[in-house]
Amino acid sequence: MTCVTRNVRTYDHFCLTARALERVGDRWSLLVVRDLLTGAKRFTDLMDRLGGITPKTLSQRLRELEDADIVTADREPGRREVWYRLTPTGADLEPVIDALNWWGVRHSWRLPRPGEPLHAEHLLRAAVQAVDLATDDREPVRWHFRLDGTDYLAESDGHRWSLTAQAPPAPAWADVTITATTDALAARIFAQSDLGIDITGEPEPVRRFRQLIGTLATVVGPG
Amino acid sequence: MTCVTRNVRTYDHFCLTARALERVGDRWSLLVVRDLLTGAKRFTDLMDRLGGITPKTLSQRLRELEDADIVTADREPGRREVWYRLTPTGADLEPVIDALNWWGVRHSWRLPRPGEPLHAEHLLRAAVQAVDLATDDREPVRWHFRLDGTDYLAESDGHRWSLTAQAPPAPAWADVTITATTDALAARIFAQSDLGIDITGEPEPVRRFRQLIGTLATVVGPG
DNA sequence: CTGGATCCATGATGATACTG
DNA sequence: CAGTATCATCATGGATCCAG
C-alpha cells in the first residue's frame, strides 16, 4: 500500500488565509513573532520567553521564518550572538498577534496559575490590551516599565497602544515609571497589591495609571 | 526509557496569545472558523471548502472547537443534516481571520494556479479585502453575488466590509447583482475579462463596482 | 447520500544529552 | 551563546468501510 502523504506544511489552496497560515500557522511560529514584535532578540532570549520549546524546534522555526521572509538573523563577524528581528513583512503581522491576544484577553483572562510560565513581556502585553478593552480612555501617555531589570515602553498615541522592549530614549521621556518584578506587577494587576512596586511620576499621570491598572482585575472572565 | 511527553496541544503559558492559539492554533481550525464566519454550514459544505481535509480530521476539529465554545452543532431531531455555526465567542474571531487574510492579500496576492482549489467564498473574501486595501473608497454599498448558484452578500457600512453567504433579504436590496461562476469571477478580477459574467444594477453603482474590481489585478505582488 | 469511524504510514514535535 | 544529535511519542493524512 503506497501512502503518498501530502505535505502537512501546506494547504495548497488559493485562499489567502490558508496561505498566510502556511507561513505562520505552525506550532510556536506566531509566538516567535509575538516576542520579536517588541524588538530584536537572541536565541536564548527567545528560549526564555517560549517556555517549553526545545532548541531544536526553535532553530527550525527560525529558519522557516527566515525562508518565509518574516525574520532575519543579524550575524556579525567576530560576535557570538545572533540577533533575530522581524522583516517589514514580519512586522506587518502585528495586527494578527493583536487580534489573537485581544480575543484571548476577552475570553480567557484569568489569574496566573502557580508555576505557570509568565514572562514580564507577556503580562505587559496582556495588561496593555486589557486597558484598551476595559476603558474608553485613549489619551496619549507614555509608561516606562522596568521589570526584572529589563526596560519596556508602553505608549498610547491617542488611537492605539504599542509595546516595545527598550530603555526610554531620553530622561523624563516617560510620564510614569514603574519598577517591579513580574510577580509584583501580577499582584498589582490581579490583587491591587502595591507590595514590591515603585511608581514615580507627576501626580496626575500616576493617578491615571493607578486608575487604569486598577480596572484590570474586573476584566477577569470565566476562563 | 519513559519519555513523559508534554501535551502537544497546549503551551501551558499565562500569555493570552498562547492560550488563544491553544484553542484555534491547530491545523485547519482557523480555516473552519473562516468558513463558518459567512454563516452556518453542514459537514459536507465544510468538506467542499476545506479542500484536502479528511473527514476524520474535520470531525475531530469540529469536536475540539465545540469543546472550546467556538462552534455549536445544531442537531434537530428528525433532520438528517447537522448545521455547524459559530458561538458568539467564535464569531469574535473575525478580526483574527481578517488580520490573517489581510496579511495574506498584502504579501501573497497572486493569480490562482491551475488546479489549485479555489472556492467562490474565498475568492470573494480575498477580493473584498483587496478592494479595502487598494482604494480609499469606503462609501456604503451592497453587492449581491450569485456564484456557482450560491448567493453571497458583500457590503460596506462606510467603515468596514463584511461578507455573508445568503440571498438578499429583500428584492432590490442590493445596489449591484453579479452572476458568474467562480472561474469567471477570477478571470474578471485577474484578467479584466467579462466573459461569463452578468452585472446588473443602476449605472452609477455598476460603474463603481467595475472601477473597484478593476484595480485588483494591480495589487498583485511578488508571491 | 450524509456524517462519520477505523487502521496504518509518515512526519512533526518533544525529551535529553552533547558540542563548537 | 547558539545551536546539533538521537530517540520516543503523538498528530495528521491516505485509504477504506459503515450506519442511518
- Measured between beta carbons, the chain B residues lying within 8 angstroms of A113 are 14
Q: Is residue A11 part of a domain?
A: no
Interface check A133 vs B, CB under 8 A: no
The answer to whether residues A124 and A68 belong to one domain is no
Count the helix, strand and coil residues of chain B and give each as a percent rounded to the nearest 5. 45, 15, 40
To the nearest whole Å, the CA of B177 is away from the closest chain A CA by 23
The domain boundary residue, chosen from A92, A112, A137: A92
Burial of A119 (0-12, 13-18, 19+ CB in 10 A): buried
Protein-contacted positions of strand D (CB under 7 Å): 1-16, 20
* Nearest nt (C1') from A46 Cα: D2
The answer to whether residues A176 and A156 belong to one domain is yes
pLDDT over threshold 60, residue A3: no
Contact at 8 Å (CB) between B47 and B62?
no
The answer to whether residues B113 and B128 belong to one domain is yes
Domain count for chain B? 2
Q: Is residue A185 part of a domain?
A: yes
Window 52-81 of B, Cβ < 8 Å to A: 52
Give the structural domain span for A25: 16-92
- Measured between beta carbons, the chain A residues lying within 8 angstroms of B123 are 14
The domain boundary residue, chosen from A58, A92, A126: A92
Is the Cα torsion angle B130, B134, B137, B143 positive or negative in sign?
A: negative
How far are the Cα atoms of A25, A30, A164, A167, B143 from residue A150, in angstroms, in the given order? 30, 23, 11, 8, 52
Q: Is residue B7 part of a domain?
A: no
pLDDT digits (tens, 9 = 90+) for B104-113: 999 999 999 9
The answer to whether residues A111 and A188 belong to one domain is yes
> Average model confidence (pLDDT) for chain B?
91
Edge-first strand listing for the sheet containing B161-164: B161-164, B150-156, B141-147, B176-180, B198-201
The answer to whether residues A70 and A88 belong to one domain is yes
Please tell me the pTM assigned to this model: 0.95
Q: CA-nearest residue of chain B to A89?
A: B107
Q: Is residue A83 part of a domain?
A: yes
How confident is the model at residue B218, as a pLDDT? 75
The answer to whether residues A54 and A115 belong to one domain is no
How confident is the model at residue A6, as a pLDDT? 66
Measured CA A8 to C1' C12 distance, in angstroms: 9
The answer to whether residues B85 and B99 belong to one domain is no
* CATH code (residue A154): 3.30.1050.10
The answer to whether residues A156 and A79 belong to one domain is no
Q: pLDDT class for B119, splitting at 50, 70, 90?
A: very high
How confident is the model at residue A176, as a pLDDT? 98
Could you say which of A15, A27, A101 has the minimum Cβ distance to residue B20? A101
The answer to whether residues B104 and B117 belong to one domain is yes
How confident is the model at residue A222, as a pLDDT? 46
Interface check B19 vs A, CB under 8 A: yes
Q: Is residue B74 part of a domain?
A: yes
pLDDT digits (tens, 9 = 90+) for A161-193: 999 999 999 989 999 999 999 999 999 999 999
* CATH code (residue A54): 1.10.10.10
Query: Which of A9-13, A20-24, B120-124 is least confident?
Result: A9-13
Q: pLDDT class for B4, splitting at 50, 70, 90?
A: low
| Cα A166 from Cα A173, distance rounded (Å) | 12
> Average model confidence (pLDDT) for chain A?
92
For A105-197, list the strands marked E by DSSP. 141-147, 150-156, 161-164, 176-180
Mean pLDDT, range B192-201, rounded to an integer: 95
Reported as type and span, the H/E element at residue B123 is: helix B120-134
To the nearest whole Å, the CA of B27 is away from the closest chain A CA by 7
| Cα B58 from Cα B49, distance rounded (Å) | 11
- DSSP class per residue in B70-113: SEEEE--TT-S--EEEE-HHHHTTHHHHHHHHHHHHHHH--PPP
Query: Which of B3-17, B24-38, B154-168, B179-193 is least confident?
Result: B3-17
The answer to whether residues B66 and B113 belong to one domain is no
Q: Is residue A173 part of a domain?
A: yes
pLDDT over threshold 50, residue A212: yes
Q: Whose CA is closest to B14, among A133, A52, A148, A176?
A: A52
Mean pLDDT, range B168-173, rounded to an integer: 93
Percentage of residues in chain B having pLDDT higher than 70: 95
How confident is the model at residue B135, as a pLDDT? 86
Residue found under cell 506587518:
A92
Strands A141-147 and A176-180: parallel
Q: Is residue A139 part of a domain?
A: yes
Q: Is residue A9 part of a domain?
A: no
How confident is the model at residue A78, as a pLDDT? 82
How confident is the model at residue B223, as a pLDDT? 41
Edge-first strand listing for the sheet containing B83-86: B41-42, B83-86, B71-74
The answer to whether residues A113 and A157 belong to one domain is yes
Could you say which of A51, A104, A117 has the minimum Cβ distance to residue B17? A104
pLDDT over threshold 70, residue A29: yes
pLDDT over threshold 60, residue A221: no
Contact at 8 Å (CB) between A29 and A65?
yes
How confident is the model at residue A1, as a pLDDT? 47
The answer to whether residues A133 and A175 belong to one domain is yes
The domain boundary residue, chosen from B73, B92, B111: B92
pLDDT over threshold 90, residue B136: no
Count the helix, strand and coil residues of chain A and give each as a percent rounded to the nearest 5. 45, 15, 40
Q: Whose CA is closest to A170, among A147, A144, A189?
A: A144
Q: pLDDT class for B217, splitting at 50, 70, 90?
A: confident
